Amino acid sequence: MERITLTKDFQKEIFCELLRKYSRDELSKIIGVNSSSIYFIKNYKIRSIDIKKFNRIALILSLKKSDIEKNTIRIFSDKELLKGLETGRKIRHKQLKTWKSELPKINNIMENNSLNVELWFEKYVKLTNFGARKVLKIEKNKDTIVVFLRTHSNVTKYKKTFKVVLPKSIALDNDFSYFFGLWCGDRTGGGRIGVINTSHELILAAKNYLKKMYQDPKYYVLRSSKIENIPPLPIKVDKVYVVKNMAGTYVPFIFSTNGYLKTFFDFLHENLDEFLLHIQHKNAFFAGLFDAEGNVSLEDSCFRWACKNKINIEIYKKHLTSMGLFKRYDGSSLVTYNKNYFIKNIFPYIKHKQKINRINLLFFDKGYLEDRFKKLLICINDSPGKELKEIAHIAKKKKVYAQCKFLCKKGYIKTEGYPMKLYVTKKGLNEIGREGQ
């Protein structure tokens, strides 16, 4: 098959004339061109036409042979077009490959206990100033890099200009390590840098750190269509999205739309093993990761980091082992029983209210019982002297042994006789009478 390339003015004139005679849908059927493509052909966004379809147009408009010859740039086959496209594609790929090879390594951007974002950006920006995205201007201030961008798509009618801000450097301190761990566990997608989590404390921590990186974070909420309103939240909500068939009731997330900063964090994550070898604040990192993906098992007196990514499992396992914090992988979580190290080194950075409460219950005999334990405590108090099987039946549970063992160990209930009969203690009665948290 052959295609013809015409001069811009001639092609535009032809299609303007056609659209005066026919509607776009009528013209689409007459010449066999997709309706949405006619606009792009008329405006010279598509610069070649199938020659059989052009001959049909020439007959419809009675175009003169001399005018066609005068305004024909070239006639070529589809094979030539594909060859040209392939050649161009190879040239672009070669250039992109060269630029990618110039990106710095992790150890190159680490200096004076900070991350040199500016050095990384100077190399990476070449990869984005290519194609639909155009960097208009870069301003470097004392602490920040301000990038003015314009995006363009052939699908959209308008171009969009916007700006993003990057910190020139990021201090490798506990605040960064905690946020990076939190982000590794609960990051938002797309070109956004942020965190998605139901914990208000984590959202506030993420908001504060994003501001520390010169961002202007937005606070959005995904709300299930099954509920009418969301409960009061600690930050003013910028936007609420209603989602059908959503698991749960609502999920808040805080983020800054910044593809460059998001890609920089992706770069760190892609080199996570090497990066963790270099940073001094691994305790804060694993605290952030624990707040995002961790769990305190009251029944088993252990700590778990949930993870199913095979690569990350091996990375976390390696570094947790070096810290004395890895015992086993149970198929979904990395588990540790090293409470001394965890309490001394990880716990000080934990911000998740519920997880702090569980740790306090487990090791410091303070805090409040969660509903699942409180309901069981009420069942035992309403039916004193019952055995485990009877309590399980009353509570409509298959097993209550592990929970009762925890309640007994912490002094909320006591056992008497054999088989063991369960009774609520004075401490348990006080817990029943306590108002919910």
pLDDT in tens, the chain (437 residues): 788 888 999 989 989 988 888 888 888 888 888 887 888 888 888 888 888 888 888 888 888 888 888 888 888 776 665 555 555 455 445 544 554 556 788 989 998 899 999 999 988 887 776 655 678 899 999 999 999 988 765 445 556 788 999 999 999 999 999 999 999 999 988 889 999 998 999 999 999 999 999 999 999 998 888 888 888 887 889 998 888 877 778 889 999 999 999 999 999 999 999 999 888 889 999 999 999 999 999 999 999 999 999 999 999 999 999 999 999 999 999 999 999 999 999 999 999 999 999 999 999 989 899 999 999 999 999 999 999 999 999 999 888 999 999 999 999 999 998 888 999 999 999 998 876 55
What is the rounded distance in angstroms from the CA atom of residue 424 to the CA atom of residue 432?
10
- What dotted CATH number matches 2-80? 1.10.260
- What dotted CATH number matches 173-366? 3.10.28.10
The pLDDT assigned to 140 comes to 94
Domain coordinates in residue numbering, the chain: 2-80, 106-170, 173-366, 371-433
The pLDDT assigned to 27 comes to 86
The pLDDT assigned to 95 comes to 46
Strand bridging mode 250-257 / 218-224: antiparallel
What is the rounded distance in angstroms from the CA atom of residue 21 to the CA atom of residue 32?
16
What is the rounded distance in angstroms from the CA atom of residue 412 to the CA atom of residue 429?
8
The pLDDT assigned to 145 comes to 96
- What dotted CATH number matches 371-433? 1.10.10.10
**Token pair of 304 as six digits:** 């778990």
Task: Judge if 2-80 and 371-433 fold alike in CATH terms.
Answer: no
**Token pair of 2 as six digits:** 């052959």
Radius of gyration of the chain (CA): 32
The pLDDT assigned to 88 comes to 47
Estimate the share of the chain in helix, then strand, then coil, as percent rounded to the nearest 5: 50, 20, 30
Phi, psi angles (nearest 5°) of residue 270: -65, -25
The pLDDT assigned to 174 comes to 96
